[in-house]
Chains A and B, each alone.
Chain A
């Protein structure tokens, strides 16, 4: 690659191109302070000169990113660490991000208020200012080939060999993780708190391009190396951040979103054991959430419950829900797990629907009177721990923790438990046999693994974890009805969304399904303005992601190599650090 000529897509002198990126970045920052439109009808109030509002904040942040990366590319002392890969891709990507969010805002203003006349001069300035870094970035020289596609790809490519970093001291590594956690929490909180769809779209544009830029710059690789050194510290920080979330909220509505994301994420993590580790495609998984929820509702003491006199304490109800799901999982698993691949998927799909239809009919008329049929079991009482009623708002250290925030904190504990179960099970004899079964069932049985038994354990464990999450979800939503427990629908959780969360986030990882669940919950919640087209948009997004990143957003090392066979070197950390070229041969078997 070294002897190929380099040429830019847009012919400009190198100095001019670099200057253009920097100047454009600064101009974008400045333009965010101008008035973009004359009326406050467009949400976020972009009319004030001197103070950014709504989407302008996003333009401002994107502009800052462009400027910082441009300064780093200039070799400004102290900023060199931002681009360890020494490439132009971070500049290109942040520039596109800034351009994207600014132009998206301008176009939304014009579209919603009816015409370009609604733009103030500030809006035009912003549009031009954000275009400059894009022009500048594409005027930077990159290896030139015959094909235009390859030329474009070169601009967003991540180099394969990133110079090895100087080792950081342990406390500095922890400081980096802490800062990253705080930034992560801030970004996540901002995303949940976005008040209107436009802001959420702008947020997504900035986040996607910023993360992509950090990835191509090589910072993500460095960060994951640091995380690998401090696994338990990172996990602790993650949970500290999760617990901190409700304290950053003033409105309990966002805690409601938070608790739903956690329930969804916990169930997705349970499904990840079945799909990601053991490789069993389960299309009816949401039924186990339903079993847990219905069990908890039946023993909750609700007056509409068939057993209204029975009122279990929460620990007993949680155990009962998990146990009921486990039994249900074994009952479904025992006959079906002898099937492989597609057949298993079809049968689980069927069983998932059977659960919903059965629950729908157990109303005393078409079947035994257990679940009240389509009416479900309403008025499930709130949980009460030693006099601490989760249904009421409490003041803790000056913060008001509302009803949903209480449940949110309970769910954080349950998710911590599920993460613990997942990581411990995955890294053990049983976890290895799950992966072996997924890789090659015949070889695994020839190694002495009882395939059926091991798969049944995965199935039952996944079911029990979903059931556990279901017991909380019954109390959070006050009532349980059969409708959410279907195969596919426009709102999570349903089996299709659960599977999508696992695949989209990254199969076989801990963070992947949780991130996938957060995204899949927020998208329909925030993009209500898309209405009936939201499923279409969601489908297109999923197809694009699977086309360009089949291993999911957070890639498991195994998966990544599975999907990108060429040129991927698998060299353990130690050999890379010593710079010794490891003997890597493509296996022809």
Chain B
């Protein structure tokens, strides 16, 4: 494991997280930290357990072993409480509220930061109106931040793909998180959209929000991340800066496959080649 460049307080700390489904161990004792103001990438081949690990972090799965803590307090394994604590997420396959408007989607994201219940909704006191107005203003700020303020009244389902991705991020930001988890934010995007997302992630970090992202687009991850962790077959293989990870042989092996163990050396290869050349020529002469 490589050393970190800066020592800061951890926002997220996963200790010894293990997730088993019956006999299958999807995530095996992973220790993982995200510090404040950091962008951390999580990569790994398909089926490495990245999304499972994400789901453990956000409470969708209850880890078989280990704990996840946010700013020092252990998180309860309930998604809504995790969000309330300050971790927001997006999904690998977009999960917007398709039949709600763009603004309503972001307002739903405000759920944990508002507390007006049924009675307040029925009685419509001044507090209710104030809270609704404040929520709407905050939601509009976020829509401006991602550049969708003109489409506030469109249904989410009618947005183009790239804008749906952005909206999902805005919805997550609405819960005022300290840590944002992005599950493949550029999947299915063209290069321009990917670059725009890159800028968006930097802008989110500049707001003081730590970002953890799963991604398959290597250039995107290495450009963006202060630190990259590699997950292979449920285990954390390497963690470090982009350069360290890119140079690590085990990572290359995990993606491209191990070199064959009885790999013939260069000298042997030349020998075999020469021998083959010899046999073919003799064959040729015999005929």
User: Which residues of A approach B to under 8 Å, CB–CB?
Assistant: 420-421, 424-425, 427-433, 435-436, 439-440, 442-451, 457, 461, 558-559, 561-562, 569-572, 582-589
Contact of B164 among A420, A439, A570, A587 (CB under 8 A): A587
Q: Is the CB of A445 within 8 A of B79?
A: yes
Tell me the interface secondary structure of chain A in the complex: helix
Instruction: State whether the Cβ of B158 lies closer than 8 Å to any Cβ in chain A.
Output: yes
Identify the stretch in B83-91, B225-233, B262-270 within 8 Å (CB) of chain A at 4 or more residues: B83-91
Contact B155 A435 (CB under 8 A): no
Q: Which of B118, B153, B158 contacts A430 (CB 8 A)?
A: B118
Q: Most chain-A Cβ atoms within 10 A of its Cβ — which of B100, B111, B128, B161?
A: B111
CB-based contact A429/B114 at 8 Å: yes
Q: Determine if B216 is an interface residue (Cβ-Cβ < 8 Å).
A: no
Query: Would you mind naming 16 contact pairs between A and B with Cβ atoms under 8 Å apart?
Result: A429-B117, A431-B121, A432-B111, A439-B97, A439-B98, A440-B95, A444-B97, A446-B89, A447-B88, A448-B80, A448-B111, A449-B80, A449-B108, A585-B159, A587-B164, A589-B93
Give B96-110 as 1s and 0s: 1 = Cβ < 8 Å from A's Cβ atoms. Answer: 111110001001111
Known: A428-B116, A435-B97. A446 touches B79 (CB 8 A): yes
Cα separation A93 to B91 with both chains bound (whole Å) = 48
User: Contact residue range for chain B?
Assistant: 35 or more
Contacts of B204 in A (CB 8 A): none
Q: Which residues of B contact A420 (CB under 8 A)?
A: 122
Q: Given known contacts A448-B80, A448-B112, A589-B161, what 17 new A-B pairs fall within 8 Å (CB)?
A: A421-B122, A424-B122, A428-B128, A428-B132, A429-B131, A429-B135, A432-B100, A432-B108, A440-B95, A444-B108, A445-B60, A447-B88, A562-B99, A583-B160, A587-B156, A589-B93, A589-B164
Minimum CB–CB distance from A232 to chain B (whole Å) comes to 13
A572 with B153: CB separation less than 8 A? yes
CA distance in complex: A21, B100 (Å): 44
Flag whether B15 is at the interface (Cβ < 8 A).
Answer: no
- Which of A447, A559, A586 makes the CB contact (< 8 A) with B108? A447
CB pair A449–B111 under 8 Å, yes or no, is yes
Cα separation A587 to B95 with both chains bound (whole Å):
12
Q: Are B104 and A432 closer than 8 Å at their CB atoms?
A: yes
Determine if B97 and A440 form an interchain contact, defined as CB atoms under 8 angstroms apart.
yes
Contact B116–A447 (Cβ < 8 Å): no
**B157 interface residue per 8 A CB criterion:** yes
Task: Kindly state whether residue B224 has any CB partner on chain A within 8 Å.
Answer: no
Bound CA span A255–B239, Å: 77
B156 to chain A, nearest CB (A): 8
Q: In the complex, what residues of A have CB within 8 A of residue B138's CB?
A: none
In the complex, the answer to whether B158 meets A587 with C-beta atoms within 8 Å is yes
Whether the Cβ atoms of B118 and A425 lie closer than 8 Å is yes
Q: How far is the CB of B230 from chain A (nearest CB, A)?
A: 25
Shortest beta-carbon distance from A35 to chain B in Å: 55
Q: How far is the CB of B201 from chain A (nearest CB, A)?
A: 19
**Once bound together, how far apart are the Cα atoms of A316 and B24, in whole Å?**
59
Known pairs A429-B114, A572-B153; A587 contacts B160 (CB<8 A): yes
Contact of B95 among A442, A449, A583 (CB under 8 A): A442
* Contact status A443-B161, CB under 8 Å: no
Could you tell me the distance between the alpha carbons of A288 and B112 in the complex, rounded to whole angstroms? 32
A416 to chain B, nearest CB (A): 14
Q: Does B186 count as interface, using CB distance less than 8 angstroms?
A: no
Inter-chain contacts of A586 with B (CB < 8 A)? 158
CB-based contact A443/B121 at 8 Å: no
A566 CB, min distance to chain B CBs, angstroms: 12
Closest 3 CB pairs of A and B: A448-B112, A428-B121, A448-B83
Measured between alpha carbons, how far is A570 from B151 in the docked complex, in Å? 11
CB-based nearest B residue for A439 = B97
Chain A residues near B93 (CB-CB < 8 A)? 589
In angstroms, Cα B157 to Cα A21, docked, is 43
User: For chain B residues 149-202, which have a beta carbon within 8 Å of chain A?
Assistant: 153-161, 164, 171-172, 175
CA of A421 to CA of B121 in the docked complex: distance in angstroms? Answer: 9
Does B58 belong to the interface (CB within 8 Å)? yes
- Chain A: minimal CB distance from B69 (Å): 18
User: Which residue on chain A has the smallest CB distance to residue B154?
Assistant: A570
CB distance from B183 to the nearest CB of A (A): 11
B182 to chain A, nearest CB (A): 13
- Please pick, from B99, B155, B171, the residue contacting A447 in the complex, using a CB distance under 8 A: B171
CB of B94 closer than 8 Å to a CB of A: yes
Asked whether, in the complex, the Cβ of B154 is within 8 Å of the Cβ of A572, the reply is yes
Chain B: CB-nearest residue to A458:
B118
Minimum CB distance partner of B152 in chain A: A572
Give the distance in Å from the alpha carbon of A587 to the alpha carbon of B132 in the complex.
29
A447 proximity list for chain B (CB < 8 A): 80, 83, 88, 108-109, 111-112, 171-172, 175
Q: Is the CB of B99 within 8 A of A439?
A: yes
Is the beta-carbon distance between A446 and B58 smaller than 8 angstroms? yes
B20 within 8 A of A: no
From 51 to 90 in chain B, residues with beta carbon under 8 angstroms from any chain A beta carbon are 58, 60, 79-80, 83-84, 88-89
Bound complex: CA A436 to CA B83 (Å): 15
When C-beta atoms are compared, the residue in chain A nearest to B93 turns out to be A589
Residues on the B chain within 8 Å of A439, using CB: 97-100
CB of B124 within 8 Å of the partner chain = yes
Shortest CB distance B17–A (Å) = 18
Interfacial chain A residues near B79, Cβ < 8 Å: 442, 445-446, 448
Q: In whole angstroms, what is the CA distance A569 to B154 when docked?
A: 10
CB of A436 within 8 A of CB of B97, answer: yes
Chain A residues lying within 8 Å of B109, measured Cβ to Cβ, are 447-448
Which of B110, B121, B172 neighbours the largest number of chain A CB atoms within 10 Å of its CB? Answer: B121
Determine the distance from Cα of A589 to Cα of B189 in the docked complex, in whole angstroms. 12
Q: Output the residue of B104, B107, B157, B175 with the most chain A CB within 10 A.
A: B157
Q: Which of B79, B96, B153 has the most CB of A within 10 A?
A: B79
| Chain B contacts for A561, CB-based, 8 A | 99, 155, 157-158
Q: In the complex, what residue of chain B is closest to A584 when comparing beta carbons?
A: B158
Contact between B128 and A558, CB atoms less than 8 A apart: no
Instruction: Choose among B96, B155, B175 the residue that contacts A570 (Cβ–Cβ < 8 A).
Output: B155
Interface residue from B60, B121, B157 paired with A424 (Cβ < 8 Å)? B121
Min CB gap A175→B, angstroms: 28
By the criterion CB–CB under 8 Å, are A442 and B60 in contact? yes
Residues of A within 8 A of B97 (CB): 435-436, 439-440, 443-444
